[in-house]
Amino acid sequence: MFETGIPKLDDYLEGGIPSGKSLIYYTQPGVEGDVFGMQTLYHNLHKGRKGAYVASNSAPYAVKGRFKEFGWGVEKFNQFFTVDCFSALVGADSDERYVVSNPEDIKAVDDALSKAMKNAAGGVIVFESLSTIMDHCGEEETLEYIEKWKKYSKAYDSVLICNFTAWPYAESTLKRLKELFDVVITISGIAERVIFGQYYGVSKADWIAEPKKRSISFKVLCPGGIKIFIPKVLVTGPYHAGKSSFIHAISSRAVSVDRLGTTVAMDHGFIDHKGFTADIFGTPGQERFDPLLRMLSGEAMGVFLLIDSTKPDTFPRAKNMLERTRAHGLPYLVVANKQDLPDALSVDEIRKKMRIPELVPIIPASVTKKKGVLEAFETLIDMITEMR
């Protein structure tokens, strides 16, 4: 199996892409889709595999510079090379081993590519932009040769990966493309005048009988590449349960709005962990701020309910806050804080006293010692992504 290196995607593909298969990153115009192919190639180079990059939008030196922007120095890999499908367009010389003499002739593209794919046997071949090749060589001609390139990939135990931007081509062309590739990853944007959110999902994977139709939001960080992005996670719970401490413990950076050590508006934190990023918002715990709860919980995708394990008298208040945030329809878990104290109740005792359903995780934690905080984050993220 060839891993994509994209957070969660390999899980959705049940381990990655089988040898000899083809994958298309099918991207809506205006969305950052080319990074998917780049990240997949770099991930496999890092794993020790061979890798070829078909440069059709920019010169090979510019391609290497773009990889470097994301912190992916490809020059260090002897098994990496480019297929120059650009220089001849602008009348420039090329020092690359594989150069397409006429990028507007699909036979010339095939001539260079067939040699390159043989050299990249057992590795990954990534097209910078299949749509650019289609624009230069024609829709029908490109579709015809994709069949050949798939056969090369299968013969050489490689994986063929193409970035494609779905410009307004003929509907028959777009339909045929999705039929040709073994895996279709749809990359789209949530837009109203401008694109303000991006997500990807598995539309097709022919070795999985019934692939789950899931989509997940992402951001492109430079350096860093593609990260799963959860735009809003809520932290709520009674006064002095440890909400602010939890947010500061879990976050890469955080800020609190407080007075005399008590949160009087909200806490905000940002976390970047294991390919996942999230914005985290904390509610104040005092009852006089309850009118803020529903406002702060709007558009949340998941909830941490913080409790003080040593104060069972606050448990009814915790459940009431959960209800006020209207969080019962969202993935949520309970963070049982202060488990390091001698009078802390056990997880089983907390579940029984609060009547928490068995399906809801209770994570034992000591927030001030940063124990259990990342486990809680990873558990909630899994719950959110599986629901989506």
Residue 54: C-alpha distances to residues 24, 152, 200, 236 (Å)? 14, 15, 23, 49
87-116: average pLDDT? 95
Helix (H, G, I), strand (E, B) or coil at 26: strand
Residue 121 has pLDDT above 90, yes or no: yes
In terms of pTM, does the model score above 0.85?
no
> pLDDT-derived band of residue 300, with 50, 70 and 90 as boundaries?
confident
Same domain flag for 178 and 245: no
pLDDT value at residue 194: 42
Residue 113: C-alpha distances to residues 53, 84, 130, 152, 306 (Å)? 10, 10, 13, 9, 57
Which of 199, 223, 247 is the last residue before a domain boundary? 223
Residue 93, CA atoms < 13 Å, CB-side half-sphere: 1
Same domain flag for 218 and 234: no
User: Does residue 158 form part of some domain?
Assistant: yes
pLDDT value at residue 284: 75
pLDDT value at residue 231: 83
User: Does residue 102 form part of some domain?
Assistant: yes
CATH code of residue 103: 3.40.50.300
> pLDDT-derived band of residue 191, with 50, 70 and 90 as boundaries?
low
Which of 168, 197, 223 is the last residue before a domain boundary? 223
Instruction: Tokens for 158, please give them.
Output: 């490689």
Q: Which is more confidently placed, 115 or 298? A: 115
Q: Which residues contact 357 (CB under 8 A, 6 or more apart)?
A: none
User: Does residue 288 form part of some domain?
Assistant: yes
User: Does residue 1 form part of some domain?
Assistant: no
> pLDDT-derived band of residue 197, with 50, 70 and 90 as boundaries?
confident
Domain that holds residue 281: 230-387
User: Does residue 31 form part of some domain?
Assistant: yes
77-96: average pLDDT? 94
What are 41-79's pLDDT values in tens digits? 999 999 999 999 999 999 999 999 999 999 999 999 999
282-303: average pLDDT? 69
157-163: average pLDDT? 97
Which of 197, 223, 249 is the last residue before a domain boundary? 223
Same domain flag for 109 and 204: yes
- List, as one string, the DSSP characters of 97-161: SEE-S-TT-HHHHHHHHHHHHHHTTTSEEEES-HHHHHHHH-HHHHHHHHHHHHHHHHHTT-EEE
Q: What residue has token string 């990359």?
A: 187
Query: What's the CA gap between 347 and 339, in Å, rounded?
Result: 9
Residue 155: C-alpha distances to residues 40, 149, 323, 327, 367 (Å)? 21, 10, 58, 52, 54
Residue 153 has pLDDT above 90, yes or no: yes
User: For residue 24, which amino acid is it?
Assistant: I
User: Does residue 3 form part of some domain?
Assistant: no
Residue 172 has pLDDT above 60, yes or no: yes
Q: What percent of the chain has pLDDT over 90?
A: 68
> pLDDT-derived band of residue 290, with 50, 70 and 90 as boundaries?
low
Residue 256 has pLDDT above 70, yes or no: no
> pLDDT-derived band of residue 193, with 50, 70 and 90 as boundaries?
very low
pLDDT value at residue 28: 92
Same domain flag for 268 and 150: no
Same domain flag for 326 and 291: yes
Query: What's the CA gap between 233 and 168, in Å, rounded?
Result: 37
31-48: average pLDDT? 94
149-169: average pLDDT? 96
CB 46 within 8 A of CB 225: no
Same domain flag for 215 and 238: no
User: Does residue 36 form part of some domain?
Assistant: yes
Same domain flag for 289 and 273: yes
Same domain flag for 204 and 237: no
CB 207 within 8 A of CB 21: yes
Q: If you average pLDDT over every residue of the chain, what do you get? A: 89
The count of structural domains within the chain is: 2
Residue 167 has pLDDT above 90, yes or no: yes
Same domain flag for 154 and 16: yes
User: Does residue 2 form part of some domain?
Assistant: no
Residue 195 has pLDDT above 50, yes or no: no
Same domain flag for 236 and 347: yes
Q: Which is more confidently placed, 48 or 327? A: 48
Same domain flag for 80 and 207: yes
> pLDDT-derived band of residue 263, with 50, 70 and 90 as boundaries?
very low
pLDDT value at residue 268: 87
Query: What's the CA gap between 277 and 28, in Å, rounded?
Result: 23
Same domain flag for 209 and 263: no
